Amino acid sequence: MEIRIGIANTGRELNFETSESADDVKKAVAAALDASATHVNFTDSKGNAYIVPTAGIAFIEIGTEESRRVGFVA
């Protein structure tokens, strides 16, 4: 699934693919914000780690868990 994170005062977003479910991502973000944590951690499907400061999060867009279709669509 694709994750897109907007960072405050930055013109670009952080985009990456993860193998985590949408519920796991939502729970991790909600837990970090509820606990007033300074950052939240994400890991993409390639194994890269991202540490995002919670104070700088403008938005988080979570893509759908839809597998890609193979072939042509008429």
Helix or strand (DSSP H, E) at 42: strand 39-43
The residue to which tokens 């991202």 are assigned: 50
pLDDT at 26: 92
In the chain, where the domains are located:
2-62
Predicted confidence (pLDDT) at residue 73 exceeds the cutoff of 70: no
pLDDT at 64: 73
The candidate with the shortest Cα–Cα distance to 60, out of 23, 20, 21, 13, is 13
Query: What residues contact 2, with CB distance under 8 A and at least 6 apart?
Result: 15, 16, 17, 62, 63
Q: One-letter amino acid identity for 47?
A: G
Confidence of residue 1 (pLDDT cuts 50, 70, 90): confident
Q: What is the pTM of this model?
A: 0.76
Per-residue pLDDT reduced to its tens digit, 19-67: 888 899 999 999 999 999 999 999 999 999 999 999 989 999 998 766 6
- Whole-Å CA distances, 52 to 1, 39, 48, 58, 66: 18, 5, 13, 11, 25
